[in-house]
Amino acid sequence: MSKSKRPASGKAPTLSNSPSPSPVFDAGDPGEYQLDEALIDKIANLAVELATEDEASPELPGKQRDLRRMIGKSLRQQQDDVLYEALERARDQEADAYPYLREIIEEAAEIVFFTRNERSYEVNAFVIPMFVRTIGGLDAEQNFRDADAFTELTASIKEAQLESADAKVVLVSYAYHLDEIDAITYSHLEAMVRDAFAAMTDKKITETAAINRSMSTWPANRFGAEDTAVELRFLLGFTLKTADDPFYVIPKDEAAMDAYFAVRAQRFQAWSEKVVPLVQRCLVTDGRSTDFDVHFLYQDLFHGGKERGIAEYFMLQMMSELDHGLQESGVAGTQTRAVMGPVHTDGDVVLRVNLYGEGDAIVATAEKPLDAARDLQVELDDTCDAVLTLGVQSVALAEEFDADGNAVNVQPYAEGN
């Protein structure tokens, strides 16, 4: 996904449940700087070392602190290029180093620790991806115009026990488009978290500069007035909590851990069913309530929620293209077999799915990007499950599709294998 920034819209977010209407952090202009090659190498090399080091090594904690310190400094100095380049160099050296380093960078950007009055706090950035169904598509001019509905929506998160009763929770009164969420770089997100902390703790009225920059404009509505539109949007919020809040302590016992997350999922499901009318009031003001529905994905920290939303978006897009191909060819899914496999082009990798009819003729094809940090087995299993809903006779896995589009070394696919 692109990391380029869009121009800021200039529209200020509305924050709820905070002592002051707005916050404080203005990152300013980082100015021009020379790419710090030495720092890039230090981060990449240390990530490679840590990704492969024995967990029992006595040197491990010190090295981990060194890596986090360098990452934190790069975030505060807005040196995103250093972090993105370090990720690429780590991947070139050791496959396991890329997801290891990416996880640490993401965590440092979305979870920031503060000390105030000798107490330790942390602020988390979270998102709730949602697929919104309307007739005619969403209208940017109707985006979060109902202040009462927004206030109720913010309060509902704590009422549903998705966050601690002792925490402070704010939402941005804006439904982010995928392009806007994807344009938020690591250092930008870290600055947004600092904005939120200031908003929830400072009594002075100041501006949320980094949060303001995160909002641009939605792409032009491409749906007709009678079209059924399903669009991906994100609710973005921040949670301020004490570092020792017992609400967030995850049990170490595996059975207790599973029960903890099962209860969390039940609470989210109950919340998602209850707040649909509030979200409708926040996004649609022209009386289309009978044509409105929302499917929420799970609330997660910023990068995990973003990844979940993107994965679901591309999966739905792939299935739509395959279904369209079947309709165009006049062939039923039950008359086809599926082959999926990677396609390598210009350094990028996509997952292709071909549906073959009689005589090995391709009757439908679609591709979707592969996230280098996402577990490939999970990606394949999810795609297999989705393709099977078309009624295909079988699903096979190709080692790759070559330059001529031929599937190479095709084997029957067994889920989880």
Strands 228-242 and 293-296, bridge-based pairing: unpaired
Query: Are the C-beta atoms of residues 366 and 325 closer than 8 Å to each other?
Result: yes
Rounded to 5 degrees, φ, ψ at 36 are: -80, 90
CA atoms within 13 A on the CB side of 295: 11
Contacts of 307 (CB under 8 A, 6+ apart): 371, 373, 374
**Average pLDDT of the segment spanning 380-407:** 92
End-to-end CA distance of the chain: 28
Residue type for 383, please? T
Coil/strand/helix, residue 56? coil
pLDDT in tens, 61-102: 899 999 999 999 999 999 999 999 999 999 999 988 999 999
**Average pLDDT of the segment spanning 135-159:** 93
Which pair of tokens denotes residue 61? 């904690």
Q: What is the overall mean pLDDT for the chain?
A: 87
Confidence (pLDDT) at 266: 96
Confidence (pLDDT) at 404: 86
pLDDT in tens, 326-362: 999 999 999 999 999 999 877 788 999 999 998 889 9
**Average pLDDT of the segment spanning 373-395:** 89
- Between 165-174, 202-211, 307-316, the lowest mean confidence (pLDDT) is in 202-211
pLDDT in tens, 155-185: 999 999 999 999 999 999 999 999 999 999 9
* Nearest CA among 113, 111, 115, 114 for reference residue 125: 111
- The Cα–Cα gap between 371 and 382 comes to 14
DSSP 417: -
Give the chain's length: 417
Confidence (pLDDT) at 24: 31
